[in-house]
A and B are shown apart, each in its own frame.
Chain A
Amino acid sequence: MSQLQNLRLARASVFLLIVFVIVPWAIAAGGRNDLYYTLTSVALLSIASAGVWLTFYIGRINIGQGAYALMGGYVSAILVVQYGVSFWLTLPLAGLFCAAISVLIGLPILRLRGVYFAMVTLVLTEVTRLSALALPITNGAKGMVSIPLPGPIGFGGFDLVPGFATLKTPNMAFYYLSMLLMCLCFAAMYRLVHSRIGRLCQSLQQNEELASSIGVNITLLRIIAYAISSFLGGLSGAIFVGIAQSIYPSSFTVNDSVNFMLNCFLGGLGYVFGPILGTFVLYFGWDLLFQAGPYQLLIFSSLLILFMLVLPNGLLSLNPFARRKA
Chain B
Amino acid sequence: MSVAAPILAVKGVTRRFGGLIAVNDVSFTVAEKQILSVIGPNGAGKSTLFKLIASFLKPTSGEVLFNGARISGLSPHIAARKGVVRTFQETTVFKAMTVRENIVIAHHLRSRAGLAGFYFGSANARADEAGFGRSADEIIDFLGLSEQRHKLASSLPHGHLRALGIGIGLATDPKLLLLDEPFAGMNHDETAKAVEMVRGVRGRGVTVVLVEHDMPAVMKISDRVVVLNFGQKIAEGTPAEIQRNDKVIEAYLGSEDAAIGL
> Does B86 sit within 8 A of A, measured CB to CB?
yes
Asked if A197 is an interface residue, CB under 8 A from chain B, the answer is yes
User: In the complex, A213 Cα to B77 Cα: how many Å?
Assistant: 6
Is there an interface contact between B92 and A210, defined as CB atoms closer than 8 Å?
yes
Query: Given the complex, which residues of B lie within 8 Å of A218, measured CB to CB?
Result: 77
> B74-88 interface mask toward A, CB cutoff 8 Å, 1 = contact, 0 = none?
011100110001111
Residues 23-72 of B contacting A (Cβ, < 8 Å): 54, 56
Considering the chains assembled together, what is the distance between the CA atoms of A191 and B121 in angstroms?
9
Within 74-125 of B, Cβ neighbours of A (below 8 Å) are at: 75-77, 80-81, 85-88, 92-97, 101, 104-106, 108-109, 111, 115, 118-119, 121, 125
A214 B80 Cβ-Cβ under 8 A: yes
B172 at the interface (CB under 8 A from A): yes
A197 and B76 in contact, given A210-B92, A210-B93 (Cβ under 8 angstroms): no
Let me know if A207 and B94 touch, CB within 8 A: yes
Interface: B129 (CB within 8 A): yes
Whether A197 touches B108, Cβ cut-off 8 Å, given contacts A206-B94, A212-B75, A215-B81, is: no
Query: A224 CA to B116 CA in the complex, in Å?
Result: 12
**Cβ–Cβ contact A215 & B95, under 8 A:** no
Cβ–Cβ contact B94 & A217, under 8 A = no
- Find B76's partner among A191, A206, A212 (CB 8 Å cutoff): A212
Closest to B80 in A: A215
**For A202, what are the chain B residues with a Cβ–Cβ distance below 8 Å?**
94, 96-97, 105
What is the minimal beta-carbon distance from A36 to any residue of chain B, in angstroms?
33
| Minimal beta-carbon separation of A212 from chain B (angstroms) | 4
CA distance A218 to B78 in the complex (A): 11
CA distance A213 to B88 in the complex (A): 9
Are B95 and A206 within 8 A (Cβ)?
yes
Contact between A212 and B80, CB atoms less than 8 A apart: yes
Tell me, yes or no, whether B168 is within 8 Å of chain A by CB. Answer: yes
Q: Within the assembled complex, what's the spacing in Å between the Cα atoms of A213 and B121?
A: 25
- By a CB distance below 8 angstroms, the chain B residues around A213 are 54, 76-77, 80, 85-88, 169
For residues 171 through 195 of chain B, which have their beta carbon under 8 Å from a beta carbon of chain A? 171-172
Which residues of chain B have C-beta atoms less than 8 A from A224's C-beta? Answer: 115
Using a Cβ–Cβ cut-off of 8 Å, how many residues does chain A contribute to the interface with B?
23
Residues of A within 8 A of B92 (CB): 207, 209-210
Interface residues as binary, A187-214 with B (CB distance below 8 Å gives 1, 0 otherwise): 0000110011101101100110110111
Whether the Cβ atoms of B94 and A203 lie closer than 8 Å is yes
> Cβ of B119 and Cβ of A192 under 8 Å apart?
yes
CB of A109 closer than 8 Å to a CB of B: no
A216 contacts chain B at the CB level, 8 A cutoff? yes
| Range of interface residues on B (Cβ < 8 Å) | 20 to 34
Q: Do A199 and B105 have beta carbons less than 8 Å apart? A: yes
A-chain residues with CB within 8 Å of residue B88 when the two chains form the complex:
209-210, 213
A216 to B168, CA, bound (A): 13
Least CB distance, A91 to chain B, in whole angstroms: 22
User: Do B97 and A214 touch (CB < 8 A)?
Assistant: no
Q: Mark B130-163, 1 if CB is under 8 A from A, else 0.
A: 0000000000000000000000000000000000
CA distance A213 to B56 in the complex (A): 9
A326 within 8 A of B: yes
Give A219 to B56 CA distance when docked, in angstroms.
Answer: 14
Which residues in A have their C-beta under 8 angstroms from that of B109?
214-215
Min CB gap B107→A, angstroms = 8
Compute how far the CA of A213 lies from the CA of B85 in the bound complex, rounded to whole angstroms.
6
A192 CA to B119 CA, complexed, in Å = 6
Which of chain A's residues have a CB closer than 8 A to the CB of B101? 199
CB distance from A89 to the nearest CB of B (A): 25
Interface residue from A191, A199, A216 paired with B77 (Cβ < 8 Å): A216
A215 CA / B83 CA spacing, docked (Å)? 10
- Taking CB atoms, residues of chain A closer than 8 Å to B104 are 199
Q: How far is the CB of B124 from chain A (nearest CB, A)?
A: 11
* In the complex, chain A residues whose CB is within 8 Å of the CB of B93: 207, 210
Residues of B with C-beta under 8 A to A206? 94-97
| B119 contacts across to A, CB distance below 8 A | 191-192, 195, 197
Residues 72-106 of chain A, each 1 if its beta carbon lies under 8 Å from chain B, else 0: 00000000000000000000000000000000000
Q: Distance (Å) between the CB of B52 and the closest chain A CB?
A: 14
- B106: nearest residue on chain A (CB-CB)? A214
Complex contacts, A217 vs chain B, CB 8 Å: 75, 77
Instruction: Tell me which residues across on chain A come within 8 A of B105, comparing CB atoms.
Output: 199-200, 202-203, 214
Q: How far is the CA of A219 from the CA of B97 in the complex (A)?
A: 22
Is B94 a contact of A210 with CB atoms below 8 Å? yes
> CA of A203 to CA of B115 in the docked complex: distance in angstroms?
15
Nearest CB in chain A: distance from B125 CB, A: 7
In whole angstroms, how far apart are the Cα atoms of A210 and B93 in the complex?
A: 7
Interface residues, chain A, with chain B CB atoms under 8 Å away: 191-192, 195-197, 199-200, 202-203, 206-207, 209-210, 212-219, 224, 326
**Which 7 pairs, one residue from A and one from B, show the smallest C-beta to C-beta distance?**
A215-B109, A215-B80, A196-B118, A212-B76, A206-B94, A214-B106, A195-B118
Given A199-B105, A210-B92, 13 more A-B residue pairs with CB atoms under 8 Å apart are: A196-B129, A203-B97, A206-B94, A206-B95, A207-B95, A209-B92, A212-B80, A213-B76, A213-B77, A214-B85, A214-B105, A215-B81, A224-B115
15 sample A-B contacts, Cβ–Cβ < 8 Å, listed by A number: A196-B108, A197-B118, A199-B104, A203-B105, A207-B94, A212-B80, A213-B54, A213-B80, A213-B85, A213-B87, A214-B85, A215-B85, A218-B77, A219-B75, A224-B115
